[in-house]
Structure 1
Amino acid sequence: MKGVSRVTLCLVASWVFLLATYVASEETEASQGAILWAVNNAQPFYILEGENQGQGFGDRIQQLIIKALPQYEHTIQRIPLRRVVHSMEQGSPLCFSTWIYGTRPDISISSAPYLHYHEHGLVMLTSTYDRLGRPEQLSLSRLLQDSDLALGQPLGRGYGTRLDPILDQYEQSAPIIRSSGPSTESIFKMLQFGRVLYTIEYPYTMRYYEQALNLQDQLEFVPIKENRGNIVLGSVACTRSEWGRRVIEDINQAIRSIRTTETHREILRDWLVYPESEGSYWQFYESNVLTVPQ
């Protein structure tokens, strides 16, 4: 019986070892040959439903990158932004195509940039803007110290290296309300109905929701004092890991091949470039996006 037990134990141990090796190799092979692309319901970055489904600038640029990487198996999955951040913190292999370049280097690796954003500002109802005296700019730090002015912020949303430290500083004391539904749309609806009094956004996001929620002539975009002149670049980010480093190398090659094409420029022109300032946008793009080494 003892001899049989030893044989049995050896067989079981061998089987467990082989199974573990097989599973590990399968996971490694899958992660090396596949990219999970996270998208979230935040128009106009990603449009996940309706007649314009898949036509957000993040959707379209992501498709260009996917087309340039046929060696990978690509999966697109709807994941709330806070879960994207949490997954990166846990080391789970995924990529997100509309990341602010160079942010959260503790959990992510940024690709070469492929666009530049107009800097974030404060978006509020005209009535709130009138109440504040219609200033040319506002200090985010000062607003966060006013207990009567609630800020709306999508869960997991970051705003870059200038604004995020200010938000972190007042995290425990400022009246900040975070959305629990479809992130950006929920914030604009809260703004519309007075649950929050301002949010931080890009000007073209404000323009999108002016149309989507019938808020024409009811919203104001106010520059943020601490953010004036800030250069905000858009990139892909993948989880900080050996897998992420390998994938970003290939994504960089894809981005370098597409970001000077007319197809890429057309996407930016549709969403981010204002006709009255198109020349200056492309001049800035060539000086501050195409020159970033990767």
Structure 2
Amino acid sequence: MKVKSISLIIAMLSGQIALATESDKAITWMQWDDPPIFIMEGPFKGQGLLDRVQEEMEIHLPNYKHTKSEATVLRVLQEAEKKSPTCNAGWLETPEWKDAFHFSKTAFVIPANGILLKESKLKEITSLKPYSLQKILDGKPKWKLGVGRLYGEGIDAVLFKNNYQKNEKVITVPTSLRIHQMLQSDRIQYTLGYPFEATYYNELLKTKDKVVYVDLTDNKDFVTVHVACSKSPWGKKVIEDVNKVLDDANVRKRIDQGVDRWLMKSDRDRLLKIRAI
């Protein structure tokens, strides 16, 4: 009986070890609908900036079982706080997120958030150079600003200073698609965002009066994007493996090509020097 009991215990422990090992080798990639960061549907489905990063990780981390989960940004954060075996293909490494995630090396670099507006309206703000959000809010009091999220250090401080949620000059819009539709119909005159958002919606909506990007003095010129996994021993190990993938110059080149797909030449040229550092 003792031999059978010992054998049963060994079998149970072996099963637990096998299950633990299998769990350790599974990654759930969290995605959220925010084109062209991720593109979930439409003619450009799967061609988002982070779609490309995630594809590279899945190819070059064959020892892991990869699954995808579509979620809101809030859900991404909740799963990270629970230390679930989840990662996301791109996140900004800021002090507020360091308690939730382990971060990889830089996966790619992008221009920071700035002003997006119709090209035909650009001449109406040239006197306000160098541009800052506060100068435009003050200098164009009849213009409506559309916002759909927070935009990071510098810009967010200006929004809160101007009590943007109750400010008649600021309209909160639930989706980036709706914001760009409102830009085209002149219901708002400008919004905030990345230059690749302008390129994506110009193509998607086939706009004649193109939306253009102008940078702001409120924040840095560029930001770095990193793969992020929940802050746990599991997440730390995955990030170590991700860093090995990012050491491959060919992988980084393909990731940069995915970014460049949604940038105008002027913005691609700006990134050349940064990427060379």
TM-score, normalised relative to structure 2: 0.75
Tell me, yes or no, if structure 1 residue 245 matches structure 2 residue 240: no
Cα 1:282–1:150 shift into 2, 3 Å: closer
| Structure 1 residue 24, shift from structure 2 partner | 8.7
- Pair 66,126 (structure 1): closer, same or farther in 2 beyond 3 Å: same
CA RMSD of aligned residues (A): 3.6
Give 1:116 deviation, angstroms: 0.9
Equivalent-residue separation in structure 2 for 1:144 and 1:92 (angstroms): 42
Structure 2 distance, partners of 1:218, 1:84, is 33
Q: Which residue of 2 aligns with 1:112?
A: 105
Judge conservation of contact 1:95–1:238 (CA < 8 Å) in 2: yes
Runs of 5+ consecutive residues of structure 1 not aligned to the other structure: 1-20, 288-294
Could you tell me how far apart the structure 2 residues matched to 1:269 and 1:191 are?
24
In structure 2, how many angstroms separate the alpha carbons of the residues matched to 1:196 and 1:232? 27
Q: Report the CA distance shift for 1:45/1:192 in structure 2 as closer, same or farther (over 3 A).
A: same
Q: Specify every segment of 5 or more residues in structure 2 that has no aligned partner in the other structure, as ranges.
A: 1-12
Taking structure 1 as reference, are residues 247 and 178 closer, same or farther at Cα in structure 2, changes over 3 Å only? farther
Match of 1:284 in 2: 274
User: Which one of the candidate residues 137, 146, 149 is aligned to 1:151?
Assistant: 146
Over 3 Å counting, the alpha-carbon distance change for 1:195 and 1:24 in structure 2 is farther
Task: Tell me: CA distance 1:92–1:159, structure 2 relative to 1, closer, same or farther (3 Å).
Answer: farther
- Alpha-carbon displacement from aligned partner over 1:24-61 (angstroms, at most 9, x marks no partner): 97885454211111122222222222343222232122
Give 1:38's match in structure 2, choosing from 30, 34, 39. Answer: 30
Distance in 2, Cα, partners of 1:27 & 1:167: 49
Percent identical: 26
Superposed displacement of residue 206, structure 1: 0.4
In structure 2, give the amino acid aligned to 1:152: V
Q: TM-score, normalised by structure 1?
A: 0.71
What is aligned with 1:7?
none
The 3-state SS of whatever aligns with 2:271 is: helix
Please give the secondary structure, in 1, of the residue aligned with 2:105. coil
- Amino acid of the residue matched to residue 105 of structure 1? K
Tell me if the contact between 1:125 and 1:219 (Cα under 8 Å) persists in the aligned partners. Answer: yes
User: How far did 1:247 drift?
Assistant: 1.5
1:69 equivalent to 2:54? Answer: no
Give the residue type in structure 1 aligned to 2:34.
A
- The number of residues matched between the two structures is 259
Is the alpha carbon distance of 1:51 and 1:131 closer, same or farther for their aligned partners in structure 2, counting shifts above 3 Å?
A: closer
Q: Which amino acid aligns with 2:45?
A: Q
